[in-house]
Amino acid sequence: MTGIIDYGMGNIHSVQKALESLGDKTIVTNNPEELRKCEKIVLPGVGAFADAMKELEKQGLVLAVIDAIKNKKIFLGICLGMQLLFESSRESKGAKGLGVLKGEVKKFIPGKGLKVPHMGWNQLNKVISDKAPGVTECPLLKGLPENSYVYFCHSYYPDPKYKEIVSATTDYGIKFTSVVWQDNIFGMQFHPEKSQAVGLRILKNFVELC
């Protein structure tokens, strides 16, 4: 069972529909006890960093998320849900993130003909992994051609302290982190549920993780 966290700021039903089309059993919930019964957890998100953290705290979900990650449950953060995994964001001065990944979230600087937010299709550049013998890429990117296109909609991006957790980058004026992977934690700055065949392949890989 995959628990999709509903804290009022995510593209919940598109994510649920995509996972269930791949044969996954899901539950949409903001109940910490229900989340504890799930094998996998997805944290979607659209909106502001500080507002999202306030909602997670108000609904008692912060500890539930941290406990799930500490207990090695497979965890996926999508867009803002990925940013919340980090320590802080320049979007919201003084606001603390979940802090399960080291680093901060930064804002794109408009220029060179680039618009902010970064919205639309862009490419993923895989980063070779040496995390384990025989492992050369993030498991969620298995089977994806190099430079696959996915759909983005964001003004901020994570800047991890430790670059070994970076599994893919994307170019938009700068090279920014678009996929992270650390142990049981995965994060994507783009929206796999909106990324057509490529996104479904990524979510299929997620469903098949043990």
Catalytic residue among 137, 138, 154, 193: 193
Tell me whether residue 193 is one of the annotated catalytic residues. yes
Tell me whether residue 79 is one of the annotated catalytic residues. yes
Catalytic residue among 79, 118, 137, 138: 79
Catalytic residue among 118, 138, 154, 191: 191
Q: What is the dihedral of CA 138, 143, 145, 151, to 10 degrees?
A: -70
Specify the length of the chain in residues: 210
Active site residues: 79, 191, 193
